[in-house]
Structure 1
């Protein structure tokens, strides 16, 4: 095959494994060996990892990109589960996390066809070479950690990449520096953050709970009752519904706390979320100073401001029902009585006591006119 410079990076796991020895127990632990090779220059990368699971596979792919110092146009993996969730001759289904990793680095995933060894012949050939040039010298030494093993792998790997290709007067490293280094796409500023998945149902209040943290995040209210998927990393939480990202938050680990994006709330919920003492006092001031003073006295008589919110909302709401003038007079009479609550203002307005003459604010209320009541002249 004719390989274009900067086009493809082939990745695979070696069939044979290496091992490390537990220093305390003497247990021999087998480890997987990840191999990657660039198509044009044949520059090779090798790393020992704990398993073929998604986390180890993606980390190894990322380390490869940083080893070569750039990003190829495509990565060609085998049909392992960490890369492909469902193989297909025509359109394989990629693992979502691996696909997200590719998006982060601006590359494409092109899985090798199942049962088509020629699609990955280059990396399989590299694996066979690794058995003699890397495995053989490493098996003479006992390693007690993956870190020690990978440091030893890096030494013999550099020897391999700097060795002249058979029948040629240049090495893989020289060929890479000459034809491939400059055509690779640049690495992003930040490394990829591995994401985990969690499925949850949006609660009636418009929040969804990230189970591992027991923390609640808001999503647009139209998704209430829907089953959504959360993709979370060490720094962010993303919510998806039918492959559409509907919300993104900075990850917070406070137990049983709420992280809210105001735009996610319904209009009525947004209004409630904005409630505060200053908001109600400002609303009252826009009507009249007497109304502001009455509202202020309500807050002063509550241990917690939230205890007064509904009372203040009800009182200020009268401005739309009866008009500002009647509400001002009602608050004046309420200030005179020295009783500060919603029921007092409601009674004053209902009984139309706000319409009494100003003189009625005196300590003595006037005697109402009635046939059964004798006036002062009756006793003269």
Structure 2
């Protein structure tokens, strides 16, 4: 029996709890609990009347004198289900169990006995122990140290195949796949296939500190590979790398790697494979055998443990799988385009000469500046030099030439003036191809910007007095010499219309003669 009298006496003399525990051969938790209960009951040394240790125990721990038949046994099935929920622990469930017992005037078991009941129940009737790992919490991933071989069917050369392994610590359910490389694309693809295999996503992924997953290892703030982090965000999960040289941080993956080396890699050592697809088909068959192999010390297997006790806790998969992307950097040129894989993609002209990040997928090109997306295009393939230009990315002066055609020019001329409209129609009809005429009309517009619309109207009016087919050059000359500012004479004094096929000819007044 605990020495209650001695504990209270030593405490009254100012001895520390550590000293009392050493003197009375009890734990410090027991000493602390006895003193707390004595303080609550108002029991202090010296006693008003002498009491024995048995009497003190009856006052401090009345439940210890009650028959064990009055104690309520915990509901282990309820405990097992509740432990699957996030944040729920055995200590929390024991507190709730105690409150429920006291509310029903029942005596609860101690925390240690409570845990023993659950441990015995889970060991006999369940495939997983929720004390160690919560279902759906972790996915541990790694590359197996041992490689497999593929035979080149032409040269007969052995090509190494690298084996990806993932495991769920709660159920030990594993996924295995072989790849020809350990690059970032293979690493991300392996995760996507693993999520599809499990039919859901865990809350946390625990990888090793390999370069395809972790750019810079750190105990507190590791730098995750950008594509790897993007994939985690797509699947609404978190990446927490294992500490450097701490393999126990992902003990399930390490243990599974050892088992895979025996039951899959070693068991296929005498077979020859001529493609990665053929190898993965053989791995899939062996993996099914591995996951359905019965446990040695408990009932069930990895598959039943997963389907019955862990699958429900996984996050659902997103509507579409993650699409692998590559990141590159580019500089926006003066023509507000970036050059990427021999193709050109437009960016808002405000970012000219700025350095931008480019995300490339199979079908889409996205352009980011300071983590904000500023442009996106459909990815171009085929002949080099193609350009994808968004009109909204162009300056205002450039936009007017996007749909520059005959109708645009005529609308502008109609709003500019009657003589300008006549001149534009004449210019358009004087060329064999419309493109040549439009080029001259652009020059006419620039003259309006340079000299003013009023002067251009006067210049076109004077040009039409000389000829019904004025040219851009003649109008430029009129504006340059200032003839548009001179008063316009009557056309009958300078131009004489004749019949025949010669159109307009100069009159006699032009040659110094008199009109008759």
The CA deviation at 1:156 is: 1.2
Q: After superposition, where does 1:143-222 map in structure 2 within 5 Å?
A: 143-210=273-340, 212=341, 214-222=342-350
Partner Cα distance (2:151, 2:288) in 1 = 25
The CA deviation at 1:354 is: 7.9
The CA deviation at 1:54 is: 0.9
The CA deviation at 1:330 is: 4.4
Richer in strand (by share): 1
Unpaired segments of 5 or more residues in structure 2? 1-130, 497-505
Q: After superposition, where does 1:221-232 map in structure 2 within 5 Å?
A: 221-232=349-360
Q: Secondary structure at the match of 1:299?
A: helix
Match of residue 472 from structure 2: 342
Partner Cα distance (1:356, 1:250) in 2 = 57
Aligned length: 366
Of residues 243-252 and 47-56 in structure 1, the stretch that sits farther from structure 2 once superposed is 243-252
Partner Cα distance (1:11, 1:309) in 2 = 67
User: Aligned Cα RMSD in Å?
Assistant: 2.9
Q: 1:300 to 1:53 in 2, by over 3 A?
A: same
The CA deviation at 1:9 is: 1.6
Contact residue 202 and residue 227 of structure 1 kept, 8 A:
yes
Partner Cα distance (2:422, 2:168) in 1 = 77
Q: 1:209 to 1:301 in 2, by over 3 A?
A: farther
Contact residue 284 and residue 316 of structure 1 kept, 8 A:
no
Unpaired segments of 5 or more residues in structure 1? 369-373
Which of 244, 257, 266 is the equivalent residue of 2:395? 266
Match of residue 4 from structure 2: none
Match of residue 307 from structure 1: 439
Of residues 38-47 and 172-181 in structure 1, the stretch that sits farther from structure 2 once superposed is 172-181
Q: After superposition, where does 1:134-149 map in structure 2 within 5 Å?
A: 134-149=264-279
Partner Cα distance (2:241, 2:189) in 1 = 18
Match of residue 12 from structure 1: 142
Q: Deviations along 1:101-125, whole A, 9 cap, x unmatched?
A: 2233333222222122221111111
The CA deviation at 1:36 is: 0.6
Q: Deviations along 1:59-95, whole A, 9 cap, x unmatched?
A: 1111111111222223221110111111111111111
Q: 1:78 to 1:329 in 2, by over 3 A?
A: same
Q: Deviations along 1:206-250, whole A, 9 cap, x unmatched?
A: 11101x3x1111122232223333332221112234444332211
Richer in helix (by share): 2
Provide the TM-score with structure 1 as the length reference: 0.85
Which of 248, 262, 271 is the equivalent residue of 1:118? 248
Which of 335, 352, 366 is the equivalent residue of 1:238? 366
The CA deviation at 1:145 is: 1.6
The CA deviation at 1:200 is: 3.0
Which of 279, 296, 301 is the equivalent residue of 2:408? 279
Q: Which has the higher contact order (CA 8 A, sep 6+)?
A: 1
Q: 1:286 to 1:375 in 2, by over 3 A?
A: closer
Match of residue 321 from structure 1: 452
Which protein has the larger Cα radius of gyration, Structure 1 or Structure 2? 2
Match of residue 189 from structure 2: 59
Partner Cα distance (2:489, 2:416) in 1 = 21
Partner Cα distance (2:446, 2:224) in 1 = 56
Match of residue 371 from structure 1: none
Q: Deviations along 1:301-324, whole A, 9 cap, x unmatched?
A: 344255235323225547x8254x
Partner Cα distance (1:346, 1:142) in 2 = 83
